[in-house]
Structure 1
Amino acid sequence: MKDFQMDHASENDLLAKKEALIREIRLSTDIFKAMADPVRQDILMMFMVAKRMNVAEVVEQSPLSRPAISHHLKILKQAGLLSSTKEKTEVFYTLSMGDSVIKQLKKIVQVAEELMDDPAKTLE
């Protein structure tokens, strides 16, 4: 009876870890969606070199139209990967994979590692 209780408790713990991983991944959906698009990946790489650009500067380095670039910048900003500041009539964007984005991605890795290292996984 005691072994059954331990197995059941281990299974419950494993299930809780699986649910935690799913929860963390779902919290990061905007980040993953923003980073999944090759155009946005290219834009992020531009910011790793230039650090600070306005829409026109991004358009100069891309085959896309200004409205298309603005759309991609908006998605990256909403995901927390870029931030913007307005100076007179220009909006400048900077890479801002700050604490919140990095912490969220680290949390996913941490929860996934806990799940992978769980001894109850062998009971499945």
Structure 2
Amino acid sequence: MSQKTMQLLKQAIPVFDMLKDEKRQEILMLLFEQGATSVNKITEQISLSRPAVSHHLKLLSQAGLVFATKHGKERYYELQLGDTIEHLRNLLESLENDVKAK
């Protein structure tokens, strides 16, 4: 495996870590379907406490998968997948090139 592929793979690990959790998958799907959604709305629709939802959203935000905007006292979360999708495309392309080079 090339150095480039190894570097891209290491950079993608936080995303893979986020996606392996079913509750985070649920949150991402909810945001995909509903767009900008408040923490309260997410909590109502997922069987988790508000602190647990906030924790998952913080991790997803740190991984670059979601972002928050504040409206009054509420925080609304939205998907932010452009950079992540581009990074994963680059990883797949690099892997493909490695396989072809063998």
Measured against the shorter chain, the TM-score band is over 0.9
Show structure 1 runs of 5+ residues with no match: 1-16
**Aligned equivalent of 1:29:** 13
1:44 aligns with 2:28: yes
Aligned to 1:68: 52
Tell me, in whole angstroms, the C-alpha distance in 2 between the residues paired with 1:68 and 1:60: 12
1:18 counterpart residue number:
2
TM-score, normalised via structure 2 length: 0.94
TM-score norm. by structure 1 comes to: 0.78
Q: Percent identity?
A: 34
What is the DSSP-based 3-state SS (H/G/I as helix, E as strand, rest coil) of the residue aligned with 2:2? helix
What SS does the corresponding residue of 2:94 show, helix, strand or coil? helix
Q: CA deviation at 1:18?
A: 2.4
Gaps of 5+ in 2: none
The aligned length equals 102
Q: 1:80 deviation in Å? A: 1.1
Larger Rg: 1
Runs of 4+ in 1 over 2 A off after TM superposition: none
The residue type paired with residue 100 of structure 2 is D
Hey, what's the Cα distance between the residues in 1 that align with 2:98 and 2:55? 37
Mapped partners of 2:100, 2:48: distance in 1 = 45
Aligned residue in 2 for 1:56 = 40
Alignment map for 1:77-88 (pairs within 5 Å): 77-88=61-72
Partner Cα separation in structure 2 for residue 102 and residue 76 of structure 1: 15
Q: Which residue of 1 aligns with 2:91?
A: 108
Alignment RMSD (CA, Å): 1.0
Counterpart Cα distance in 2 of 1:77 and 1:63: 20
